[in-house]
């Protein structure tokens, strides 16, 4: 399957070339394919906050490249470059609060900086570390696609009707995607009859990004209002809900795009299996449970307006953009280290001691 997945690779969101970072602007997709060039850590932090780049693993990867840009710039400026890079890392860490991959990637870069020896070239070695973070996410996607596809086959191998939420695809990662990687894998194995993509209000990651990615590859997809999900589960023979994650705590609770929690409750009611697909960089063993995850709230204008046009009454809007699905609603967490069915603290502790499977 690995070779067939690699052959099907069409979209990427992050590119490092000629000493600069290029990001595919996800605010304007699918109508415009616009690449923006970045050459400072501060500009990358802004790109993360404004969601030019989004999706937990992609945010981490972009931040790692942001540190490389910071190191290059600060070395060229001279003076106390390490203090200036520390300030750049703090700026990047402040860009979005929920996806732990951001902090995981920044910690990796910080540790690499600390391990530099006097004779080392900081820019070259930090660039190598960012490339490793980027490429190992791509590899993790391939492993998860295989493991998730095997899991679907194990439970029910015939034609699947799948439901997904937000965008956990190529645009959100360094490779093919987490949830969409599994969906791509299952499609290549001839197991997917149809994919239902929640539109994912208010930012429309589902209708703008997921539908675009899947349709480009000929995977049968339709978009539905988020509020149609329960009816779809009841009437369309949904076998699995498959989603990504922004942070998974030690007990297996999962923070993901707002609306994921109500999908899991609905899935339990309708006897639909619920799969979370995420690399181990999304697992935060320092937090005991999901209640401790910082949940980002974004500007109410994202809810009240479309394209700058006010839709309804001009009132206050409450716009939390993530929620937490409790572990007991989750059938399986698929990572590149292996699959955890019916997650709990003991199983996640065991998983995190394991090596990657690729």
- Residues at the site binding ligand MRU, with contacts judged by CB under 6 A: 54-57, 99, 166, 168, 172-173, 178, 205, 244-246, 256-257, 321
Q: How far is the CB of 295 from ligand MRU (least distance, A)?
A: 11
From CA 176, how far away is CA 340, in angstroms rounded? 21
Instruction: Name the residue nearer to ligand MRU (CB basis): 40 or 205.
Output: 205
CB of 168 to ligand MRU, least distance (A): 4
Cβ atoms of 263 and 303 closer than 8 Å: no
Nearer to ligand MRU, 70 or 181 (CB): 181
From the centroid of its chain, how far is CA 69? 22
Least Å from the CB of residue 200 to ligand MRU: 8
**Between 188 and 321, whose beta carbon lies closer to ligand MRU?**
321
- Closest-approach residue to ligand MRU (CB): 244
Decide whether 55 or 66 has the Cβ nearer to ligand MRU.
55
Q: Which is nearer to ligand MRU, 213 or 246 (CB)?
A: 246
Q: How far is the CB of 7 from ligand MRU (least distance, A)?
A: 21
- Residue 294 CB, nearest approach to ligand MRU (Å): 14
Nearer to ligand MRU, 283 or 321 (CB): 321
**d(C-alpha 131, C-alpha 14), whole Å:** 11
Shortest distance (Å) from residue 239 CB to ligand MRU: 20
Three-class secondary structure assignment of the chain: CHHHHHHHCCCCCEEEECCEEEEECCCCCCCCCCEEEECCHHHHHHHHHCCCCCCHHHHHHHHHHHHHHHHHHHHHHCCCHHHHHHHHHHHHHCCCCCCHHHHHHHHHHHHHHHCCCCCCCHHHHHHHHHHHHHHHHHHHHHHHHHHHHHHHHHHCCCCEEEEECCCCEHHHCCCCECHHHHHHHHHHCCCEEEEEEECCCCCCHHHHHHHHHHHHCCCCEEEECHHHHHHHHHHCCCCEEEECCCEEECCCCEEEECCHHHHHHHHHHHCCEEEEECCHHHEECCCCCHHHCCCCECCCHHHHEECCEECCCCCCCCCECEEEECHHHCCEEEECCEEEECCCHHHHHHHHHCCCCC
Among residues 112, 33, 96, which one has the least CA distance to residue 62? Answer: 96
Minimum Å distance from CB 49 to ligand MRU? Answer: 11
Q: Residue 200 or residue 266: which is nearer to ligand MRU going by CB?
A: 200
Q: Which of 88, 198, 246, 331 is catalytic?
A: 246
Please say if 46 is a catalytic residue: no
Phi/psi for 285 (5° steps) reads: -75, -5
Which residues belong to the active site? 246
């Amino acid at each position: 399957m690995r070779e067939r997945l690699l052959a099907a690779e069409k979209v990427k969101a992050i590119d490092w070339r000629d000493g600069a970072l290029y990001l595919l602007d996800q605010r304007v997709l699918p109508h415009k394919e616009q690449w923006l060039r970045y050459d400072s850590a501060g500009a990358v932090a802004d790109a993360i906050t404004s969601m030019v780049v989004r999706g937990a693993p992609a945010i981490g990867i972009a931040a790692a490249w942001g540190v490389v840009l910071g190191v290059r710039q600060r070395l060229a400026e001279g003076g106390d470059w390490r203090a200036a890079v520390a300030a750049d890392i703090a700026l990047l860490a402040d860009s979005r609060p929920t996806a732990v991959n951001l902090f995981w990637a920044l910690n990796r870069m910080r540790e690499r900086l600390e391990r530099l020896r006097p004779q080392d070239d900081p820019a070259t070695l930090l660039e190598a570390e960012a490339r490793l973070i980027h490429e190992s996410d791509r590899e993790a996607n391939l492993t998860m696609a295989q493991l998730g596809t095997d899991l679907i086959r194990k439970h029910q191998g015939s034609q699947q009707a799948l439901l997904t939420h937000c965008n956990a695809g190529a645009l959100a990662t360094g490779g093919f995607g987490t949830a969409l990687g599994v969906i791509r894998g299952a499609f290549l194995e001839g197991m997917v009859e149809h994919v239902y993509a929640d539109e994912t209000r208010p930012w429309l990651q589902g209708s703008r990004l997921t539908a675009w990615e899947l349709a480009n590859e000929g995977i049968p997809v339709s978009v539905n209002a988020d509020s149609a999900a329960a009816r779809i589960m009841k009437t369309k023979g949904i076998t699995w809900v498959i989603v990504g994650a922004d942070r998974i705590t030690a007990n297996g609770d999962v923070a993901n795009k707002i609306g994921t929690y109500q999908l899991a409750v609905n899935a339990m009611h309708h006897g639909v299996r619920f799969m979370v697909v995420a690399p181990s960089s999304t697992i935060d063993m320092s937090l005991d449970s999901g209640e401790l995850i910082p949940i980002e709230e974004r500007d109410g204008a994202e809810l009240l307006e479309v394209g700058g046009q006010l839709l309804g009454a001009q009132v206050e809007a409450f716009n939390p953009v993530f929620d937490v699905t409790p572990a007991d609603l989750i059938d399986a967490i698929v990572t590149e280290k292996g699959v955890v069915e019916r997650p709990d603290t003991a199983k996640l502790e065991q998983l995190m001691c394991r090596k990657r499977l690729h």
